[in-house]
């Protein structure tokens, strides 16, 4: 694709801290290369803000290669921006054209309070994992290929669910701010494997209880989460989680 | 939500089936029926003990579904105190899947009208014309329906009610099965198509009732 430069207008959410009121601030950015990533465009802007003696825009990022889930921007109304199955860090400026106005907001959900500018507190996800998203015993080293037989279909489904990077785009997109897609992915990737089987029932009960405690809403299957998920986690995981939840509720020991 | 929704769907099957008896008056069947078949069916529903008991269960089902629906909607709306400047909108989901609370409320308003039109006169006040078949006295619900649907305002309100129901079910039908835990992709695809098919058949039949009576396709004459 042909390289080009562009001038853009950015409308970015600025908020000094958790308790203050925020507002949109407009920036003109010039000579942005179509080869830059979206975050590199923010780096350029922040360099300028720092050299002018202004507060740079705070945003989360870590790996910048689409695997950590740290980057989180609501770009022109879509979590992670316009590209399908792509994180904000992997979004490139060739998605935009000269003269565009881009509105950038933080994730909005009671479970993700804004800490500063575009950075939200996503420790609610950590607490959901701590409530049951693990196997209690040491499962040891990787064993020989077929020492522990696992159905191919289940292994595939588990692997697909394990691709979730915990970015929270599903919550950001959901009209109910439900974390069901994330939680169901974390439930599914363990529940489908023999190592995860013994704790399957308590896991789903505790993780859903924690999700509710953290102030996330309930799933009504609109499908918005699946549409924006950078890892294409399927909503069928949510149905599977409901099945496990109903069954666990009826059949746990206590 | 899923359970009560599915229960209400089974009620729709019975309701649409019974009411479709009015179409027996169409020229292709028996233009001299004049609602006899429908009146007898309706009399059976009102006079049998089992049916009256089921009617109570049905009311309970509606009330439960409405309470669940409204409280779910209320709770979910509170989960994002601060909204977005630009919304995802139809890029991620269908408008009707995001509007179940409003569609349900429209159905509820329609139900208030519908129950006061037909159920209250038939079961409580009994101020209805009478018909007699084989010596058995019964309400002439057919005439009552016909008279109601001579008013174009009533016809339009009923069509709007059916439209709200259609969109509620386009999403509700498959959503209910997902809520109950169906996660097999093939079954889900099948249930989705079944849901669209079911909804279209039921809602077109319901919509044709006021239209057929307004346009005198079926009439007491
Ligand atoms: C004949 C009447 C009705 C039928 C057949 C029906 C059916 C359904 C079905 C099948 C669902 C899906 C359940 C699920 O996703 O688990 C549903 C959901 C719902 N219904 Fe109804 N319903 C009816 C009337 C109403 C009324 C009168 C109201 C409210 C006043 C209402 C409000 C809701 C709400 C808020 C939901 C939740 C939706 C969601 O999943 O987003 N419904 N309904
Ligand atoms: S399910 Fe998808 S959108 Fe949600 S946290 Fe995981 S990777 Fe992000
Ligand atoms: S920075 Fe790691 S996924 Fe974007």
Determine the pLDDT at residue A141.
86
Among left, alpha and beta (phi > 0; psi -120 to 50; other), residue B127 is: beta
Query: Which of B68, B81, B85 to mutate to probe the A interface, most A CBs <10 Å?
Result: B85
Other Cβ atoms less than 10 A from the Cβ of A135: the count is 14
Q: Which two tokens stand for residue B212?
A: 């057929």
Alpha-carbon dihedral A89, A92, A98, A101, rounded to 10 degrees: -30
- Average pLDDT, integer, range B100-104: 98
Contact residues, chain A, for B171 at CB < 8 Å? 221-222
Contact residues, chain B, for A245 at CB < 8 Å? 181
Interchain proximity B92–A227, CB inside 8 Å: yes
Place A113 in a pLDDT band, splitting at 50, 70 and 90: very high
Determine the pLDDT at residue A142.
83
Place B18 in a pLDDT band, splitting at 50, 70 and 90: very high
Angstrom CA distances, A34 to A4, A26, A96, A103, stand at 5, 21, 8, 18
Ligand 2, atom 7, lies closest to the CA of A164
Ligand 1 within 6 A of CB of B155 = no
- Which tens digits make up the pLDDT trace of A173-189? 999 999 999 999 999 99
Q: Which two tokens stand for residue B83?
A: 């909204």
- Average pLDDT, integer, range B201-213: 98
- Which tens digits make up the pLDDT trace of B64-91? 999 999 999 999 999 999 999 999 999 9
Place B22 in a pLDDT band, splitting at 50, 70 and 90: very high
What's the CA-to-centroid distance between A2 and ligand 2, angstroms?
Answer: 32
What's the CA-to-centroid distance between A194 and ligand 3, angstroms?
Answer: 31
Collapsing DSSP states into helix, strand and coil, what is residue B219?
Answer: coil
Place A144 in a pLDDT band, splitting at 50, 70 and 90: confident
Shortest Cα–Cα distance, A234 to chain B (Å): 10
Compute the count of residue pairs across chains A and B with CB atoms less than 8 Å apart.
111
Q: Are strands A74-75 and A23-33 parallel, antiparallel or unpaired?
A: unpaired
d(CA A251, CA A242): 14
Helix (H) or strand (E) holding A136: none
Collapsing DSSP states into helix, strand and coil, what is residue A104?
Answer: strand
Q: Which two tokens stand for residue B221?
A: 């004459």
Interchain proximity A236–B78, CB inside 8 Å: no
Ligand 2 within 6 A of CB of A196 = no
**Nearest CB neighbour to B181, from listed A178, A223, A246:** A246
d(CA B107, CA A108): 31
Do the beta carbons of residue A158 and residue A192 sit within 8 Å?
A: yes
Go through the domains of chain A in sequence order and give each one's CATH number. Answer: 5-115 (3.10.20.30), 123-251 (1.10.1060.10)
d(CA B184, CA A234): 12
Ligand 1 within 6 A of CB of B107 = yes
The number of residues making up chain B comes to 221
Q: Which two tokens stand for residue A144?
A: 């020989």
Instruction: Quote the mean pLDDT of chain A.
Output: 96
What's the CA-to-centroid distance between A81 and ligand 3, angstroms?
Answer: 13
What's the CA-to-centroid distance between B70 and ligand 1, angstroms?
Answer: 10
Do the beta carbons of residue A214 and residue A127 sit within 8 Å?
A: yes
The CA-CA-CA angle for residues B199, B204, B208, to 5°, reads 155
Helix (H) or strand (E) holding A118: none
- Average pLDDT, integer, range A155-162: 97
Q: What is the per-residue burial (b if ≥16 Cβ within 10 Å, else e) of A167-196?
A: bbbbbbbbbbbbbbbbbbbbbbbbbbbeeb
Contact residues, chain A, for B78 at CB < 8 Å? 110
Place A168 in a pLDDT band, splitting at 50, 70 and 90: very high
Alpha-carbon dihedral B108, B110, B112, B117, rounded to 10 degrees: -160
Interchain proximity B178–A242, CB inside 8 Å: yes
Site to probe by mutation for ligand 2, drawn from A107, A165, A179, A219 as the one with most ligand atoms within 8 Å of Cβ, is: A165
Rounded to the nearest 5°, which phi and psi values hold at B20?
A: -65, -10
Do the beta carbons of residue A76 and residue A10 sit within 8 Å?
A: no
Determine the pLDDT at residue B193.
97
Ligand 1 within 6 A of CB of B121 = no
Collapsing DSSP states into helix, strand and coil, what is residue A43?
Answer: helix
The fraction of chain A above a pLDDT of 70, given in percent, is 100
Concatenated DSSP letters for B112-151? HHHIIIIIHIIIII----EEEETTEEEE-HHHHHHHHTTS
- pLDDT at A1 > cutoff 80: no
Contact residues, chain B, for A223 at CB < 8 Å? 92-94, 97
Contact residues, chain A, for B92 at CB < 8 Å? 78, 173, 222-225, 227-228
Contact residues, chain A, for B185 at CB < 8 Å? 236
B97 touches chain A (CB under 8 A): yes
User: Quick one: DSSP state of residue A205?
Assistant: H
- Which residues, other chains included, contact A3 with Cβ-Cβ below 8 Å and sequence gap of 6+? A33, A34, A35
The CA radius of gyration of chain A, in Å to the nearest whole number, is 20
Nearest-CA neighbor of B154 among B110, B202, B123?
B110
- pLDDT at B217 > cutoff 90: yes
The ligand 3 atom nearest the CA atom of A88: 4
What's the CA-to-centroid distance between B47 and ligand 2, angstroms?
Answer: 56
Interchain proximity A243–B183, CB inside 8 Å: yes
- Which tens digits make up the pLDDT trace of B151-161? 999 999 999 99
d(CA B113, CA B56): 19
- pLDDT at A254 > cutoff 90: no
């Amino acid at each position: 694709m042909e390289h080009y430069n562009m001038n853009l207008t950015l409308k970015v959410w600025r908020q000094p801290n958790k308790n203050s009121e925020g507002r949109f601030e407009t920036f003109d950015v010039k000579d942005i290369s179509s080869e830059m990533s979206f975050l590199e465009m923010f780096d350029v802007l922040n360099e300028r803000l720092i050299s002018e003696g202004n507060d740079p825009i705070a945003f989360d990022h870590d790996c910048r290669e689409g695997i950590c889930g740290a980057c989180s921007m609501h770009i022109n109304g879509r979590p992670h921006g316009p590209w399908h199955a792509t994180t904000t860090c992997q979004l490139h400026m060739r998605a935009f054209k000269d003269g565009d106005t881009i509105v950038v907001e933080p994730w909005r959900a009671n479970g993700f309070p804004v800490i500063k500018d575009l950075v939200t507190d996503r420790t609610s996800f950590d607490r959901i994992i701590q409530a049951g998203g693990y196997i209690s015993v040491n499962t040891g080293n990787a064993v020989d290929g077929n020492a522990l037989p696992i159905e191919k279909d289940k292994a595939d489904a588990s692997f697909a669910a394990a691709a979730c990077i915990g970015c929270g785009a599903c919550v950001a997109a959901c009209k109910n701010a439900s974390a069901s897609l994330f939680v169901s992915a974390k439930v599914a990737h363990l529940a489908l494997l023999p190592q995860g089987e013994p704790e399957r029932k308590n896991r789903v009960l505790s993780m859903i209880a924690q999700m509710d405690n953290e102030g996330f809403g309930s799933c009504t299957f609109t499908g918005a989460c699946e549409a924006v998920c950078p890892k294409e986690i399927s909503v069928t995981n949510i149905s599977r989680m409901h099945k496990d939840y109903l069954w666990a509720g009826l059949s746990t020991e206590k | 939500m899923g359970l009560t929704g599915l229960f209400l769907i089974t009620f729709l099957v019975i309701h649409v089936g019974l009411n479709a008896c009015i179409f027996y008056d169409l020229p292709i069947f028996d233009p001299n029926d004049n609602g006899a078949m429908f009146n007898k069916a309706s009399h059976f529903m009102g006079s049998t003990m089992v049916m009256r008991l089921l009617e109570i269960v049905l009311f309970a089902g509606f009330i439960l579904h409405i309470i669940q629906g409204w409280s779910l909607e209320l709770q979910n709306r509170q989960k994002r105190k601060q909204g977005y400047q630009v919304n995802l909108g139809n890029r991620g989901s269908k408008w009707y899947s995001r509007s179940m609370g409003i569609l349900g409320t429209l159905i509820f308003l329609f139900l208030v009208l519908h129950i006061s039109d037909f159920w209250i006169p038939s079961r409580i006040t009994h101020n209805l014309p009478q018909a007699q078949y084989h010596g058995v006295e019964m309400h002439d619900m057919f005439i009552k329906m016909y008279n109601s649907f001579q008013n174009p305002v009533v016809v339009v309100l009923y069509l709007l009610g059916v439209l709200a129901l259609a969109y509620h079910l386009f999403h509700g039908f498959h959503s209910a099965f997902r809520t109950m835990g169906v996660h097999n992709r093939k079954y889900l695809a099948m249930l989705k198509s079944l849901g669209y098919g079911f909804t279209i058949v039921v809602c077109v039949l319901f919509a044709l009732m006021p239209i057929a009576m307004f346009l005198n396709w079926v009439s007491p004459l």
